[in-house]
Amino acid sequence: MRGFDKNDVPSVTVPRLALYLRKLRELNTRGVSRISSKDLAEMIDVNAAQIRKDLSYFGSAGTRGVGYEVEDLIEKITGWLGLDRTWNFIIIGAGLLGTALARYRGFGEQRFRLVAMFDSSATVIGARYGPEESDRVRSVRELDEFCRKESVDIAMVTVPAGEAESTVQRLAEAGVKAVLNFAPVKVHAPEGVLVRQVDLSSELMSLSFYLDKGQDER
């Protein structure tokens, strides 16, 4: 299924693959069996040539005049994104954001499995975040041992900004190789640890800029 070098795939291509997969799954549930790059592009507001180029990095090409088989392309993109297996993740920070993430059902549908949640506050340790009796917030003091003993692939960090850097360093030392950081601060991690930043406040500021621009033009 692989047959390609991930180093040859531009980083900007990966988010688009996720976008293609979401739309293809929707089409599949509606009974659509084939789709052209042109029609897919119109549905998701992406240039058709860009779609063909993105898929070509993986050696996939549709049939001219016929397009792509939807089910086949779903299977291929699922494999390319590594979604043909289950990934275990944890959440550090059981505040409002962390708890909301823990309760989001979409992760399970995409084969991301929440295996534990941690916090340092005695007021939330032991609180239930899921339907199972075992779905209770653990003390952050258990973090290192848990990560070393369990198969933790990804960590979501929703701690205050001042604690983010040390938390990521701690996760790296415990063997976690991928981190999604929601704290509003850029963090650095040792070589070999992948960190992705989700800065919600910056996104809101960007929206504010364009909304304010629209007000000025009235």
> What would the CATH number be for the domain defined by 87-202?
3.40.50.720
Q: Per-residue confidence of the chain (218 residues) as pLDDT tens digits?
A: 455 677 778 888 999 999 999 999 999 999 999 999 999 999 999 999 999 999 988 876 666 667 899 999 999 999 989 898 999 999 999 999 999 999 998 898 889 999 999 999 999 999 999 888 889 999 999 999 999 999 899 999 999 999 999 999 999 999 999 999 999 888 988 888 999 999 888 888 888 888 876 555 55
Query: According to the model, what pLDDT value does residue 133 have?
Result: 85
Q: What is the CATH number of domain 6-80?
A: 1.10.10.10
Structure confidence by residue, pLDDT tens digits, 173-195: 999 999 999 998 889 888 889 99
pTM, entire model:
0.83
Where are the chain's structural domains?
6-80, 87-202
pLDDT at 62: 60
SS (H, E, C) the chain: CCCCCHHHCCCCHHHHHHHHHHHHHHHHHCCCCEECHHHHHHHHCCCHHHHHHHHHCCCCCCECCCEEEHHHHHHHHHHHCCCCCCEEEEEECCCHHHHHHHCCCHHHHCCEEEEEEEECCCCCCCCECCCCCCCECEEHHHHHHHHHHCCCCEEEECCCHHHHHHHHHHHHHCCCCEEEECCCCCCCCCCCCEEEECCHHHHHHHHHHHHHHHHHCC
